[in-house]
Amino acid sequence: MKVQISNGMFMALIINMIYAKAIGVTQGSMAREVGGDIWISTLIATIQGGVIMFLVILVIRRMPEGDLIDQAARLLGKWFGKFVALITFLFFLAAYGPVMSTFVFHLKDYFLPEAPILLFIIAAFLLGTYAIYFGVEVIARMALIGVFSIIALNILLMFGSLSEFDIRELRPTFQMGFLRTVWASRHHNTDWAMATIMAGIILPMVADKKTWGKMGFAGIGYGMVFIIMWPILEAGVLSPETAAQYIVSCMQMARSAQIGYFVHRYEMIMIAFFALSILTQIMMSLLCASVAMQKMLGLKDYRKVIIPTAIILSSFGYWINFDKNRAVDFLEGWWVYISIGVAVGLPFLILVMGFLFKKKLKKEIVAEEVK
């Protein structure tokens, strides 16, 4: 029987896929460009993310049994499908760099400064391969629990930092100008890009096709609600200047948050709640890359390529993060162009192709239904 996940699980996957990097690493990058307007940039990026998600859902809906790669193969043949699979694989290969940066920066910088980077890469490799072996359903269930831990994390952080909040730090708005604020939103768009391409791969496994759109937008909406608190608090509590000085500004905020005497160092609790989100990113990147690799090689089961795919992704993750400057450069430079380029370009290309080869696609759909 084909694996199916519920619509709630799909929503949870979207939320988790965005959350881990968006609340800290992304905010730090945006703060360096637009200061206190990071929350406006976040909102703008969410709208853009919604548009890309809409595009992906539109594409998959045409033939709900196939993902982006299958759609491409149906439209222009096997080799075009393989080409799209290669693009998808490269996308998740590139995504693994920032994902591992988020993982390593949080754990290494704040808890285990002396531990070698390889240790984190191996841990992610082991956890990721173990989880994706059981398929998307297990990851989706973890993501569902992850949503509850995100809620707990947000509530605790609010308790710990609201007393320090100064609304004046958020004023005046559009300090750096409207266009720069919009431009800075590209950093958060990279997070949405991961969620939307992931949706392009897993949507056919989501049970209720009628509510895909609704659930996709609900996921975006909730993701925004859970994330938006962070730039507002980071600007209002830490001040935009301080937030801009840290690569992982959320950890700095958690460090300064004080809930009580015995929880005076809050970041460990934060990490506990945040872990499921970053693990979802790791697992989904590995899963989607494995599916792309499987389709590239024309295999029946992605499980056969889990280990080689994970080795390739982990090697890249290690190479990127071995040098912190390289990691930050990639995160704020190359990754932005790769992710947005693929996330916008790929669904758009397949959508346009769909219009051009409407008749062929219809025939394919009818043949599929007859089967």
> What is the contact surface with another protein in residues (CB under 8 A)?
6, 8-9, 107, 111-112, 115, 119-120, 123, 126-127, 130-131, 134, 138, 141-142, 144-145, 261-262, 264-265, 268, 271-272, 275, 279
Nearer to another protein by Cβ, of 165 and 322: the residue is: 322
- Find the shortest distance in angstroms from Cβ 138 to another protein: 5
- Find the shortest distance in angstroms from Cβ 284 to another protein: 14
- Find the shortest distance in angstroms from Cβ 250 to another protein: 17
Helix (H, G, I), strand (E, B) or coil at 5: strand
Compute CA 37 distance to the chain's CA centroid, rounded to the nearest angstrom: 22
Q: 5 has which bridge partners?
A: 206
The secondary structure of 329-347 as a DSSP string is HHHHTHHHHHHHHHHHHHH
Nearer to another protein by Cβ, of 10 and 91: the residue is: 10
Compute CA 170 distance to the chain's CA centroid, rounded to the nearest angstrom: 26
- Distance between CA 186 and CA 190 in Å, rounded? 6
Nearer to another protein by Cβ, of 84 and 99: the residue is: 99
- Find the shortest distance in angstroms from Cβ 318 to another protein: 15
- Find the shortest distance in angstroms from Cβ 277 to another protein: 12
A 10 A CB-CB count for 6 gives 16
Nearer to another protein by Cβ, of 16 and 29: the residue is: 16
- Find the shortest distance in angstroms from Cβ 134 to another protein: 5
Nearer to another protein by Cβ, of 111 and 337: the residue is: 111
Q: Per the omega criterion (within 30 degrees of 0), is the bond before 347 cis?
A: no
- Distance between CA 178 and CA 17 in Å, rounded? 28
Nearer to another protein by Cβ, of 51 and 115: the residue is: 115
The secondary structure of 212-230 as a DSSP string is HHHHHHHHHHHHHHHHHHH
Nearer to another protein by Cβ, of 12 and 197: the residue is: 12
- Distance between CA 278 and CA 229 in Å, rounded? 18
Q: 206 has which bridge partners?
A: 5
- Distance between CA 268 and CA 265 in Å, rounded? 7
Which ranges of the chain does DSSP label H, i.e. alpha helix?
7-22, 25-34, 38-62, 68-76, 78-110, 117-133, 136-161, 178-184, 186-202, 212-233, 240-245, 249-256, 267-297, 306-322, 324-332, 334-356, 358-370
- Find the shortest distance in angstroms from Cβ 283 to another protein: 9
- Find the shortest distance in angstroms from Cβ 48 to another protein: 30
- Distance between CA 197 and CA 56 in Å, rounded? 8
- Find the shortest distance in angstroms from Cβ 21 to another protein: 17
Q: Is 360 exposed, middle or buried (0-12, 13-18, 19+ CB in 10 A)?
A: middle
Nearer to another protein by Cβ, of 262 and 355: the residue is: 262
Nearer to another protein by Cβ, of 261 and 355: the residue is: 261
